[in-house]
Each structure stands twice: as structure tokens, then as C-alpha cells.
């Protein structure tokens, strides 16, 4: 039996792909939801919409500072794993959240093999908690699945060369699988009004932007000078913070969107402005230019030919980036062929179920 641990929106999307592939190979799976994302708009709707197998337990950890949140997750994950009548064959984790780190540390302490999906990514900024989570998880893992050769090469630089596979990105699988469903199921007019008006998407959730008043103000000031409508699905943690701020008139606040809603919005938008890692890729796959509100990205391949521009939280850089256009003939496929989940399940079958 595999125990998979998830806790945040991007991991729910990845699990929708990998869990389905595991089931097709006849591999039994138990899912732990840590509760890192606990708001229904950030959590339960993804399970319902993407038809992810039901989780066995929701640890209900919720929001805390990084150390306390990770510690509480470790305690609850350890308790659950030790309560199982059948010892897990392996623990599977995704990406770079505190849920990822907590599960990896507990599995290592219990001498359980760890599978890391989306291994080898590096922003080279250790002030980002996600960077620490990636590094520790990679160095504890027994089986590492990478999204690109860049990640494989990075692991090799760190001395990790065995059981490393370049399978492509499972989020590309999700875009391939669910884009058609989004077109069929989502009425854009119900999501934004008026339908048909040109718009950009902006998302902000990283503490370096949300918890730094100067950075947040510079981003919003830049948005206010750009002649375009911006749709902003507001992260619950940020809603209280902006109540006292004067927001640009071209910024339309919305509650968090479901995954299918977000896919539909990206399909019809002009550009994407974000500090999210996953949204950078989703924008790229749908051939939408991305302005990244960070100084670095782990998805370095997307930076070619201005498809992704690093602007940070600097007002002038954001405004300059907004005026740059990517030429459609420079777009090239990245991160696999959209069948990463199948490859992951097949390799797991070979390694752990020979």
C-alpha cells in the first residue's frame, strides 16, 4: 500500500492525475489530507470537481507559522502511520509545501521509502520555505520523479543520481485532461462579468509579497497604472490584510476559483501576473504570457523569449514587463507529453511491485 500525503491546492491537482494512474495499475493507495489548505474554496471543491479518491483522514492542521505547522503535521502523520494495521510500502509526496516536508521527515524516521513527485526544482533562494522543503525532501527520497532534464541535472550536482526519472510534469497531465472539461462545464459569464471583456489574471499568495506592505503596495500601484482589467481571486489569508488599503479601480476582487474555473479563465485571458509556481506553468501551456512577481523561479525553462518575465515586486519592472509581448512562433513544448502520471505509476509498479 502507498500512503500519499497532500495538503494544498496544487497537490490536489497532482493527486487527481497520479491517484488515477495508480488505480489503473491496481496499486492500493491511502491518502492523508493535512488540512494545510482548509477553506472549502481552496480544498474540498477540488476533490469534488477533479474526482480525487476520498482521503482516509483530514488532519485539520490549518494555518500556523511554518515551524509550528510542520511540527503539528509531523505529530499527526506519525500517529496515523503508526496506527495502520498494514505497514505502508512507501510514502508519496508532491512538490514543496510544509505537508511535503512533514511527511518526508516522518517517513524517514519510520524507515519508510519516500517517493517525491516534482523533484529537483531549485529557486536558489533559501529565504523561501519551499526551497528548504525541496532540498530536504529530495535528499531523503528513494525514488525521484522530475519534470525536466534541468531538474535531473540539478540533482546530479547535489550527488543524487540513482532512482531519478525525468517523466514530465503531472500538472501538464491535468491541463490536458481537464481543459476540455473546463470548456464544457464552465460558463465564463458566471465567473466574471461582463463576459468577453479583455482581462488579465493576478494571484498573490507568497509571504514575501503578502506580509511585506511595501512589496504589496508596489505591486498594486503597478497594476493601477496598466490599462487593463485585472481579475484577482483573493487568497483567504490576504482578504483581511487589504481591507484598509485603497485598491486600483481596474482590480476586480473575486473569491478563490475552482480548478476548472481557473483553467477557463486562463484560456480566455490576455496575461497572467502571479507569484505562484504552478500558475506560471499553466499559463505557459495555454500560451499565455506570464509576469512573475518574484525575483526568481524554479521553472527556469519558461523564461525563454519573454514567455515568463521575472519582475519581482518592483513597480517599474512590473510596468515594463506589462509592455513586452511574446511572439507566438517562439513557443515550444515544455515538461513532457502530458502522460507523466502513467509513467510514474508504471515505474512504481516495477520498483515496488516486481
For residues 114 and 145, membership in a common domain is answered with yes
pLDDT value at 193 more than 90: no
Q: Is the pLDDT of residue 236 over 80?
A: no
Work out the pLDDT band at 47, boundaries 50, 70, 90.
confident
Looking at residues 95-111, what average pLDDT do you find? 97
Same domain, 126 and 215: no
User: What CATH number corresponds to the domain at position 295?
Assistant: 3.40.50.2000
| H/E stretch holding 339 | none
pLDDT confidence band for 314 (50 / 70 / 90) = very high
Q: Is the pLDDT of residue 222 over 80?
A: yes
Residues 151 and 17 in one domain: yes
State which H helix or E strand residue 84 sits in: none
Q: Are residues 274 and 129 in the same domain?
A: no
Residue 174 lies in a domain: no
Q: Are residues 74 and 104 in the same domain?
A: yes
Phi, psi of 33 (to 5 degrees): -105, 115
The x, y and z cell numbers of residue 281, run together, are 506553468
Over the chain, what is the mean pLDDT?
93
Q: 165 and 185 share a domain?
A: no
Tally of domains within the chain:
2
Domain assignment present for 341? yes
Largest CA distance in the chain: 61
C-alpha to C-alpha distance for 216 and 211, rounded to whole angstroms? 8
Q: Which pLDDT does position 321 carry in this prediction? A: 98
Please give the grid coordinates belonging to residue 64: 500556523
Residue 183: inside a domain: yes
Handedness of CA 61, 67, 70, 71 (dihedral sign): negative
In a domain, 214, yes or no: yes
Same domain, 315 and 285: yes
Would you say residue 158 lies in a domain? yes
Q: Are residues 216 and 310 in the same domain?
A: yes
Stretch among 42-51, 269-278, 279-288 having the lowest mean pLDDT? 42-51
232 shares its domain with 107: no
Percent of the chain topping pLDDT 90? 78
Within this chain, do residues 140 and 58 fall inside the same structural domain, yes or no?
yes
CB 302, CB 280: distance < 8 Å: yes
Domain housing 46: 2-169+337-352
Tell me: do 164 and 187 sit in the same domain.
no
Question: In this model, does residue 84 exceed pLDDT 90?
Answer: yes
pLDDT class of 43 with cuts at 50, 70, 90: low
Give the tens place of pLDDT for each residue, 128-141: 899 999 999 999 99
Known active-site residue 205: yes
Catalytic residue among 66, 139, 205, 304: 205
Cα separations in angstroms, 318 against 31, 46, 268: 40, 31, 21
pLDDT band for position 173 (cuts 50, 70, 90): very high
Give the C-alpha separation, 46 to 29, whole Å: 19
190 and 138, same structural domain? no
Res 48: pLDDT: 82
Position 185 scores a pLDDT of 84
Inside any domain, residue 230: yes
pLDDT of residue 37: 63
pLDDT band at 146 (very low <50, low <70, confident <90, very high): very high
Amino acid at each position: 500500500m502507498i500512503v500519499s500525503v497532500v495538503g494544498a491546492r496544487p497537490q490536489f491537482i497532482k493527486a487527481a492525475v497520479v491517484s488515477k494512474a495508480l488505480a489503473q495499475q491496481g496499486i492500493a493507495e491511502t491518502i492523508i489530507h493535512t488540512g494545510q489548505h482548509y477553506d472549502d474554496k481552496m480544498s474540498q471543491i477540488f476533490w469534488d470537481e477533479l474526482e480525487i479518491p476520498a482521503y482516509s483522514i483530514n488532519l485539520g492542521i490549518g494555518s500556523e507559522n511554518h515551524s509550528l505547522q510542520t511540527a503539528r503535521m509531523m505529530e499527526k502523520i506519525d500517529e496515523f502511520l503508526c496506527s495502520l494495521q498494514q505497514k505502508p510500502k512507501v510514502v508519496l509526496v508532491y512538490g514543496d509545501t510544509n505537508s511535503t516536508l512533514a511527511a518526508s521527515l516522518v517517513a524517514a524516521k519510520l524507515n519508510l521509502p519516500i517517493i517525491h513527485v516534482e523533484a529537483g526544482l531549485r529557486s536558489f533562494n533559501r529565504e523561501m520555505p519551499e526551497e528548504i522543503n525541496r532540498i530536504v525532501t529530495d535528499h531523503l527520497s528513494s525514488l525521484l520523479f522530475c519534470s525536466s532534464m534541468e531538474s535531473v541535472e540539478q540533482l546530479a550536482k547535489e550527488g543524487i543520481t540513482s532512482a531519478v526519472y525525468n517523466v514530465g510534469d503531472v500538472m501538464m497531465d491535468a491541463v490536458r485532461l481537464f481543459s476540455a472539461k473546463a470548456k464544457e462545464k464552465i460558463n465564463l459569464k458566471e465567473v466574471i462579468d461582463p463576459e468577453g471583456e479583455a482581462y488579465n489574471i493576478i494571484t498573490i499568495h507568497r509571504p514575501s509579497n503578502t506580509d511585506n506592505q511595501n512589496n504589496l503596495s508596489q505591486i498594486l500601484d503597478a497594476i493601477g497604472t496598466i490599462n487593463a482589467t485585472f481579475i484577482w481571486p483573493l487568497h483567504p489569508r490576504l482578504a483581511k490584510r487589504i481591507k484598509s488599503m485603497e485598491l486600483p479601480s481596474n482590480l476586480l476582487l473575486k473569491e478563490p476559483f475552482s480548478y476548472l474555473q481557473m483553467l477557463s479563465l486562463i484560456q480566455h485571458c490576455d496575461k497572467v501576473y502571479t507569484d505562484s509556481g504552478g500558475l506560471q506553468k499553466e499559463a505557459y501551456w495555454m500560451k499565455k504570457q506570464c509576469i512573475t512577481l518574484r525575483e526568481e523561479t524554479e521553472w527556469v525553462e519558461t523564461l525563454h523569449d519573454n514567455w515568463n518575465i521575472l519582475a519581482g515586486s518592483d513597480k517599474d519592472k512590473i510596468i515594463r514587463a506589462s509592455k513586452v509581448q511574446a511572439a507566438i512562433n517562439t513557443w515550444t513544448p515544455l515538461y513532457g507529453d502530458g502522460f507523466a502520471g502513467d509513467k510514474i505509476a508504471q515505474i512504481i509498479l516495477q520498483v515496488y511491485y516486481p
